Chain A
Amino acid sequence: MKIFVCMKQVPAAATASIDPLTKTIVRTANNAVTNPFDLYALQTALDIRKQTGGSLTAITMGIPAAERVLRDAVSRGADGGVLLSDRAFAGADTLATSYALSLGIEKMGGSDLIVCGKMAVDGDTAQIGPELAQHLGIPHVSDVCEILEAAEDHLVVRRVWDEVEQELYLPLPALITVVKGQNLPQLATIPGMLRGRDVEIPLFTAEALNADTERCGLKGSPTQVVRTFTPPVRGQAKTIEGSETQQAEELAKVIKEVLYGAD
C-alpha cells in the first residue's frame, strides 16, 4: 500500500504577521510548528501501515524550511518526504494548494491512500483534503475518528458528526481526513531522528511538476483578500471596580438587572 500524509507548517499563533500587500500570512522558518492535526494524520497512517505494510511518504507544499516537518515525520516513522517548493506556489489559497499537492502525488506515482488532518489551525478551512480528492478523482471521507478495518483494497472507518455516527466502507484509492484524539502521536525515536536528519528529501518546483503556473500560488487563487480590519468594538465597557468583595457585589447586581430587570 502506498500511503501519503499531507502535512503543513503553521506559524506559532503569537508570532504570525500579515503581508500588507497580498494580505496573506508571512511564512518564515522561525517559530513555525507542525499543524497539530497532521500529527494525528501521521499516526493514523503509521497504524494503517503496520497492518497493511507498504510505504508512507509525507508531503508538504511550502517554503524550503518547511522541509523540517518532513524530517520530523520521518523521525516519527514515515519512510520519506516530498517537498513542493517554488516562488510560484506562494500565496496559494486552498484551490491552488490542493492542485499543487495533487501534482506532487501524481509525480510520485500516485497513491492508494492519502491521510490529511481535519484542518490546519492557521486557516481552519478543512478544505485541502476534499479538494485534493476531487482533483485526483478519488472518493474521500472527512472527519474520521477511528479506523475499524484496514486492508489492501479498502478501509472501514467511523466518524461522528453533530447528530450521526457513521461506519463507512471506503474502497481504495481514497483520501481520509482525521480528527484529533483517536490516537496518541508517537514521539521520534533516536534511530528515527537520525533517519530524519539524513534522509534525502526530494524537492519539486512548479516546473518539475509540469504545473500550469496560472493555477499556482497567488495567481492561481480565485479567492483574494481585499481588506483586513480589526473587528468593531462594542463601545466602552463599564469597568466594575473596587475591592474584591465590592466587585462581587456589583457583579451580582449587574447579573440580576440583566436577568430580571432593574429593581
Chain B
Amino acid sequence: MEQIKKGALWVFCEVQSGELLPVGMQLLGRAKTLAAESNRPLYAIVLGKIPEGAVKTLGAAGADEVICSDSPALADKLEQPYADSLIDLAQKFEPDILLVGATPFGRAFAPRVAAALGTGLTADCTELSIEAESGLLLQTRPAFGGNMMATIKTATHRPQMATVRPGVLPLPEPVETPLSEPIAIPYNNEAGLVRLLRETAISKGADISQSKIIVAAGRGIGQKKNLKLVQALADKLGGEVGASRPLVDMGFCPYSSQIGQTGYSVAPDLLICCGISGAVQHLAGIGGAKTVIAINTDPKAPIFSVADYKIVGDCVTVLENLLKLLG
C-alpha cells in the first residue's frame, strides 16, 4: 500500500445502481486544481463493488489513483457500514482533505465519518479553494441571516471535510489517464446492524437540474391557481417549471422542481423568476444560469442583483399579458 500517500486529497465517488454518479467527477474536476495548487495527490475513493470502466472514468476526471474497498458488508449502500469503511480507510491513510457529493446518501453517511474522526464537515459548499499562505481548504456556503455567504475553514483538525451538491460544479473535460486498475484495500468489518428489506428504484421523473429553459415561481405568485400561468409559459417556451423552497414547503410544487441550496442546482440558458425574492439559499442554486429575467414587486429584492433583465411589478399580471401576446 505504499503507493497511497498520506496527506492526500480524497474524493468519495458514489455508485448508484452500478454506475458512478456524476457528482464524483464534478468534484474531481475541481479537486484537481485544488490538489495542484496545494501539491497534494488526488485519490478517488469507491466503496462497494466498483463498476466496470470506473477507474478509467475517474482517472480521466483527474484522479491520480483510485482506491476501492469492497466486502459483503458493503453490498447494500447504508449509512453505518459505508461510514465505518471510510473511517477505517481515513485512519489508515490520513487524508488531508475529504470531499463528498451532497447526495441524500452522502449527506446521511458523511457526518458519521466526521464525528468518528473528530473533525469538521461543511455541508453544501458552493465554492472550494485553497488559501495560498496556509494551503488550507476554504469552504464557502450560504450562511443564515441576511443575504450572506460564509467562508469556513478547518484549521486544526484533519481531514478537512466538505460536501458539495450535485450540479454545482461543472463536469471536467476528460484527460488522458494511465489508470486502469484500482488499489484495492480489504475491509473486514461486519455488516451494519440495519438491514435492507426491500428496495425499489423509482423513476423520479424529470428534475429541473438539466432543463435548458426554466420558468420559476416564488411566493409572489400568490395563489396556487396562478401556477397555471407559470406552467403555460413553460409549455409555450418548451421549458420546465421550477419553484422556490416556500412553494415546495407549502405543497404547491413537487420537490423535483425545487431550486436552491436544499433543492436542485440549475444551469439553464434562460431562467425566468416570477415572484422570487432571491434568498441567498435560492441564489446558491442558480449561479450557472446564463440569462436571468426577474419579475418582482419589490424593487429591492435580491433576485434583481443576479438578474440580466428586471421588471418591477406583479408577476401574475406580467405573465397574463405575456401569455396573451404569445398567443
- The interface of chain A, by Cβ under 8 A from chain B, is 11, 16-18, 23, 25, 93-95, 98, 119, 122-135, 139-143, 156, 160-171, 174, 180, 221-231, 233-234, 237-240, 244-245, 247-249, 251-252, 254-255, 258-259
Instruction: A140 to B110: give the CA distance in the assembly, Å.
Output: 12
Contact residue among B111, B120, B195 (Cβ-Cβ distance under 8 Å from A134): B111
Q: Is B183 an interface residue (CB 8 A)?
A: no
The chain B residue sitting closest to A161, CB to CB, is: B104
Instruction: Spot the interface stretch: B4-12, B59-67, B172-180, B289-297.
Output: B289-297
Tell me, yes or no, whether B237 is within 8 Å of chain A by CB: yes
Asked if B196 is an interface residue, CB under 8 A from chain A, the answer is yes
Give the number of A-B contacts (CB < 8 Å): 238
Task: Say yes or no: is B143 at the interface (Cβ < 8 Å to chain A).
Answer: yes
The B123-177 residues at the A interface (CB cut-off 8 A) are: 123-124, 138-139, 143-157
10 contacts between A and B (CB under 8 A): A130-B115, A134-B115, A164-B201, A168-B197, A170-B194, A233-B305, A234-B306, A238-B310, A244-B313, A259-B237
Q: A225-B150, A234-B305, A234-B307 are contacts. A123–B104 as well, Cβ < 8 Å?
A: no
Binary per-residue interface labels of chain B (194-231) against chain A in the complex, 1 for a CB within 8 Å, 0 otherwise: 11111111101000000001000000000000000000
B1 within 8 A of A: no
- Please tell me the size bucket of the interface on B: 35 or more
Shortest distance between the CB of B51 and any CB in chain A (Å):
15
Pair A168/B318 contact, Cβ less than 8 Å: no
- Whether A23 lies near B147 (C-beta < 8 A) is no
**Residue of A whose beta carbon sits closest to that of B162:** A223
| Given known A-B contacts A164-B202, A226-B151, A251-B311, A124 and B194 have beta carbons under 8 A apart | no
Q: Which residues of A have CB within 8 Å of B312?
A: 239
Name the residue of chain A whose CB is nearest to the CB of B154.
A222
- With A95-B118, A180-B249, A238-B308 already in contact, 19 other A-B pairs whose C-beta atoms are closer than 8 Å: A95-B121, A126-B108, A130-B110, A130-B112, A130-B115, A134-B112, A139-B193, A156-B197, A160-B202, A163-B17, A169-B194, A226-B153, A230-B149, A233-B306, A234-B292, A234-B305, A239-B309, A245-B321, A248-B322
